[in-house]
């Protein structure tokens, strides 16, 4: 497995692969990898000849007071997992390589999409996401890029960015990977102590209630969301950021539950902010 720290190294290898007629998949990550990330690598390997994984904690998607400095990092562990899963190249740049001191250009969707859900409390987050993903696409020039459904709003925004900017890359969504007790895999789960870890299952239990209501024909979005909030509010350690039902493509709020609606949440368990979601009409 190649470990590249510069854009020049990546571009040289990508050029050689493409000259040999090979397709390239990209899995963008912030590291501290788990089975959710591994599933993206495996999907890329099933569809592309070569797989590149970026490991980069992107500073521009963190707001003031967020966990940029404390975000978990373990590059040796990441490399071991990726080599085991058959990754061909890891791109692990220094922040100064992607953001020089005079950096002044950002990519931003100028609609209400990034203002919904997570954007309500993280107003600059998706500008940072779009900027770094654009840079990664420009460096790696992948045929396909793989993103997890857990970050559903991010996925929708990247799809819109790719469409609007005519980027030559196919975006592939991959299902949420969960622990045995239902908790969605997340690097931030490592922040949880034992009591908080047990409490965090309230997110997936709330998702199960909402999914069951939709499957049984509930069409009132307010009623479905209210029932999910009631589940979360039974947990003393949980503090709701949001639980909302939105159009799965535009992220606009909806009143009627129908196939394709995204029901998403962000919940603080102690000091840790976790997210989860489901799409009406789709499997787990």
Catalytic positions are 37
| Angle formed at CA 137 by CA 36 and CA 48, multiple of 5 degrees | 60
Q: What angle do CA 130, 154, 126 make, to 5 degrees?
A: 45
Please give the distance of CA 174 from its chain centroid, rounded to a whole number: 10
Residue 276: strand, helix, or coil: strand
- Could you tell me the two tokens for 189? 């789960």
Chain centroid to CA 275 = 10
Distance CA 55, CA 44 (A): 16
Q: Would you state the structure tokens that stand for residue 190, as one six-digit string?
A: 């490592």
| 108 exposure class (CB count in 10 Å sphere: 0-12, 13-18, 19+) | middle
CA 164 to chain centre: 20
């Amino acid at each position: 497995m190649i470990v590249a720290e510069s854009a020049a190294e990546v571009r040289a290898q990508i050029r050689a692969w493409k000259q040999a007629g090979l397709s390239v998949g990209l899995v963008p990550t912030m590291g501290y990898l788990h089975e959710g990330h591994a599933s993206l690598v495996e999907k890329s390997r099933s569809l592309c000849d070569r797989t590149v994984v970026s490991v980069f904690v992107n500073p521009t998607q963190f707001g003031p007071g967020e966990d940029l400095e404390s975000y978990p990092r373990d590059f040796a562990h990441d490399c071991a997992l990726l080599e085991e899963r058959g990754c061909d190249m890891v791109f692990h740049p220094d922040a100064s390589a992607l953001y020089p001191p005079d950096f002044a250009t950002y990519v931003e969707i100028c609609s209400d999409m990034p203002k919904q859900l997570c954007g309500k409390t993280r107003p600059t987050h998706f500008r940072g996401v779009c900027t770094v993903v654009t840079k990664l696409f420009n460096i790696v020039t992948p045929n396909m890029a793989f993103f997890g459904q857990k970050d559903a709003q991010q996925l929708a925004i990247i799809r819109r960015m790719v469409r609007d900017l005519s980027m030559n890359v196919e975006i592939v969504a991959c299902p949420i990977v969960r622990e045995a007790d239902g908790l969605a895999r997340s690097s931030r789960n490592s922040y949880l102590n034992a009591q908080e870890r047990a409490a965090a299952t309230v997110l997936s239990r709330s998702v199960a209630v909402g999914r069951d209501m939709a499957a049984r024909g509930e069409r009132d979005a307010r009623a479905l969301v209210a029932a999910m909030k009631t589940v979360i509010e039974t947990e003393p350690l949980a503090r709701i950021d949001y639980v909302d039902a939105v159009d799965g493509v535009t992220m606009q709020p909806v009143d009627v539950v129908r196939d394709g609606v995204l029901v998403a949440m962000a919940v603080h368990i102690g000091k840790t902010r976790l997210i989860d979601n489901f799409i009406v009409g789709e499997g787990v």
